[in-house]
Structure 1
Amino acid sequence: MKFDPGFKITPTSAPLGFQYGQRVFGPQVENRTLDSIRKNLRDPNCTGPDIVYSIAMDVGCEEDREEIVKRNLLYGAVTYAKGNLGEEPVRSQGHVHAVSPSCGMSTCEVYEIWSGAAYIYMQETTRDFPGRCYAVLAYPGEVVVVPPNWAHCTIVADITKNMSFGAWCVRDFGFDYSGVRSHGGVAWFPIVKDNNIIFQKNDSYQTEECVVKRPRRYSDLGIEAGKPIYTQFQENPDRFLFVSNPKLADWEHFVP
Structure 2
Amino acid sequence: MEHILEFGTKRVKPNIRTLFDMKEVAYDREWLSGAGNIVLYYMYRELSLSKNDALTMREHGLRYDITVIPPRMLGREFVKTAGHYHPVVPGTGMTFPEIYEVLSGEAHYVMQKPEGNRIKDVVLVKASQGDKVIIPPGYGHLTINASNKVLKMANWVARDFESVYAPIKEMGGGAYFILENGIVKNSHYIEVPEIRALAPTNVREAGLQKNKEMYGLVRDMKKLEFLTKPQEYAWLFEEIYSSL
TM-score by length of 1: 0.83
Note the C-alpha offset of 1:216: 3.6
Runs (4+) of structure 1 exceeding 6 A deviation are none
Secondary structure of the equivalent of 1:176?
A: coil
Secondary structure of the equivalent of 2:188?
A: coil
1:166 is matched with 154
Structure 2 gaps, min length 5: none
Q: Report the CA distance shift for 1:15/1:192 in structure 2 as closer, same or farther (over 3 A).
A: farther
Secondary structure of the equivalent of 2:193?
A: coil
Q: What residue identity is the alignment partner of 2:134?
A: V
Note the C-alpha offset of 1:237: 2.1
Note the C-alpha offset of 1:17: 4.5
Secondary structure of the equivalent of 1:66?
A: helix
| 1:81 partnered with 2:73 | no
* CA distance in 2 between partners of 1:180 and 1:127 (Å): 14
> Which residues in structure 2 correspond to 1:40-59 (within 5 Å)?
40-44=25-29, 46=32, 47=35, 50-59=38-47
1:130 is matched with 119
Q: What residue identity is the alignment partner of 1:64?
A: D
CA contact (8 A) 2:202 2:210 kept: yes
> Which residues in structure 2 correspond to 1:168-247 (within 5 Å)?
168-193=156-181, 198-205=182-189, 206-219=191-204, 221-234=206-219, 236-247=220-231
| 1:106 partnered with 2:95 | yes
Note the C-alpha offset of 1:98: 2.3
CA contact (8 A) 1:124 1:131 kept: yes
* Percentage identity across paired residues of the two chains: 26
Structure 1 gaps, min length 5: 1-13
Note the C-alpha offset of 1:104: 8.2
* CA distance in 1 between partners of 2:184 and 2:43 (Å): 27
Of the structure 1 ranges 141-150 and 121-130, higher mean CA displacement relative to structure 2 is found in 121-130
1:153 is matched with 142
2:61 is matched with 72
What is the number of residues matched between the two proteins?
235
* CA distance in 1 between partners of 2:22 and 2:115 (Å): 17
